[in-house]
Structure 1
Amino acid sequence: MTIAAAFVVFPFCLAFAAISDLLTMTIPNRVSAILLGAFFVIAPFAGLGLGEIGLHVAAAALVFAVCFCLFAVNIMGGGDAKLLTACAIWFGLDASLVAFLVYVSICGGVLTLAVLLLRRQENAILASGIPVPRLLLTAKKIPYGIAIALGGFAAYASSPLMEAAFAQLW
């Protein structure tokens, strides 16, 4: 049962965060809290040892330090920083974390360009009747939770936690 949670909790939290960020331009703190708490419950049952869990915590601390600096200079939102940190603990200090961050960066760039193009065409979009959240067109922010979610979906299968969970299924 706990192993099954590894397949559900992370993707569900990312999907919830992405939808919330799209519709309200905020990522609820409970999403990051659930991700962090669930990791500490699931990791031992997935077979991660104390040393491996420590490396996952180190990955989250490293990502948090960078995100905190970006937040302090007003480059990144607080919800995005918390979500990235909570996601990083699921990847640990290995290549899957790098893959996750690269996917997030690529998706974030594409998302930013798409939102900027949408905002340039605001009048045409509103006139066409295409349902687009109003905040997406009027806010000065980019809903980066969408990019974080897409990057997480793309990289999650290669994370040590998922590999350990897959190994227990066979």
Structure 2
Amino acid sequence: MVAGVIFLVFPICLALAALTDLFEMTIPNRIPAILLGAFLVVVPFTHLGWSGFGLHLAAAAVVFAGGFALFALNVMGGGDAKLLTAAAVWFGLTKSLLVFLIYVGYAGGVLTVLILLLRARANLVIAMGLPVPHSILTAKKIPYGIAIAVGGLASYAQSPLVMQALESLR
């Protein structure tokens, strides 16, 4: 049961966040809340202990501080900062968090370039009838929730919680 929650909640929440950010340019507050709540429910059933739990909360605090700074500088949206923080708690203050953040950075760079290319050719995209959400072509911001989801899904197998869940299944 615990392994099922670990394997399902994180990927489903990230996928939903990416989709809502793509189509609505917002990430509902309930998605980061579910991510954080599920983590808090699962942790007592893992072998993290208090120090491991503290390292996971420290990871969220560090990422929140960075996300808040980027939000204050108007570089990142509030929903993106909250989603990044809620995802970081699943990785803890470990090497897997760094891998996650690097993947998010690369995915964000590729996403930004692709969206800027689409916007530069918006008339052509519309004329060709390509199924691109209108908000992607007209908004002034980048739906970074997509990059967070790609980075999270690409690196989640390295998360300490997934490693423990896989070990418990053996």
Query: Which amino acid is the alignment partner of residue 106 of structure 1?
Result: Y
Tell me the alpha carbon deviations over residues 16-41 of structure 1, each in whole angstroms, 9 at most, x when there is no partner: 00000000000000000000000011
Matches within 5 A, 1:1-170: 1-170=1-170
Segments of 4+ moved more than 3 angstroms: none
Relative to structure 2, which stretch is displaced further, 71-80 or 38-47? 38-47
Aligned residues: 170
Unaligned runs of 5+ in 2: none
For 1:146 and 1:130, how far apart are their aligned partners in 2? 19
Cα distance in 2, alignment partners of residues 43 and 10 from structure 1: 14
Please, what TM-score do these two structures have when normalized by structure 2?
0.98
Measure, in 2, the Cα distance between the counterparts of 1:158 and 1:44.
Answer: 20
* Separation in 1, partners of 2:78, 2:24: 14
Q: What do residues 43-98 of structure 1 show as CA deviations (whole Å, max 9, x unaligned)?
A: 22132211101100000001001111111111110000000000000000010000
The percentage of aligned residue pairs carrying the same residue is 62
Give the superposed CA RMSD. 0.6
TM-score, length-scaled by structure 1: 0.98
Could you tell me which amino acid in structure 2 is paired with residue 159 of structure 1?
Answer: S
Task: Please give the per-residue CA displacement for 1:89-145, whole angstroms capped at 9, x wherever unaligned.
Answer: 000001000000000000000000000000011011101111100000000010000
CA contact (8 A) 1:3 1:45 kept: no
User: Would you say the 8 A contact 1:56–1:91 is kept in 2?
Assistant: yes
CA contact (8 A) 1:27 1:80 kept: yes
